[in-house]
Amino acid sequence: MDKTDLLILKLLEENAKIDTQDLAIMTEIPTVEAESRIKVMEKEGIIRRYSAVINWEQTGYTPVLAVLDLKVSPERDFGYDRIADRIARFSEVKALRLVTGAYDLEVLVSGKSMQEIARFVAEHIAPMDRIRETATHIVMKVYKENGDIFFEREVGERLPFSF
């Protein structure tokens, strides 16, 4: 993994549909080499998959998102890994992270309604062994996701400025 690989990854993260020729130009390597490097990173699991960032509000279907903060009793010899593995297997779970602070795990959950999310937490997450406490935060509006800003300022609109 060198600086060129890291640049390729950054460019693909910004735009997974970037043309390989454009990628080669931007990284100053031949197109064949860019393709080869990408294939190697896919095979090694560095590039896990390609995805789209969707502004669900514009589709008319807006899933409910919630952030669950979980306090967990770590397991001897396994820490948080086993409980994280169990939680990650639920289709409602979109992201799962070990974090610092008052809580141990941060879970991004998606559902059709707040009731569905509440039921998921009450029936599947809260009763799990090792879960000591949960805090559920409903996402009210998404302003930015994976680097994409979801709102546009009008042309010429000035931002407030103060000292």
**Domain locations along the chain:** 3-43, 58-143
* Domain 58-143, CATH among 3.90.1310.10, 3.30.70.920, 3.40.640.10, 3.40.190.10: 3.30.70.920
Write out the H or E segment, with its range, that includes residue 89.
none
pLDDT at 81: 96
- Domain 3-43 of CATH type 1.10.150: no
Residues in the chain with pLDDT values less than 50: none
Q: Are 53 and 148 in contact (CB under 8 A)?
A: yes
The structure tokens listed for 69 are 């903060």
Q: What would the pLDDT profile of 45-74 be if each residue is shown by its tens digit? A: 999 999 888 888 888 888 999 999 999 999
d(CA 2, CA 24): 15
Listed residue (71, 68, 74, 73) closest to 88, CA to CA:
68
- Write down the pLDDT at residue 94: 96
Strand order across the 131-139 sheet: 93-98, 105-111, 64-72, 131-139
**pTM of structure:** 0.79
Instruction: Name the β-bridge partners of 138.
Output: 66
CB distance 32 to 23 below 8 Å: no
Write the Ramachandran bin of 60: left for phi over 0, alpha for psi from -120 to 50, otherwise beta.
Answer: left
At residue 67, the 3 state secondary structure works out as: strand
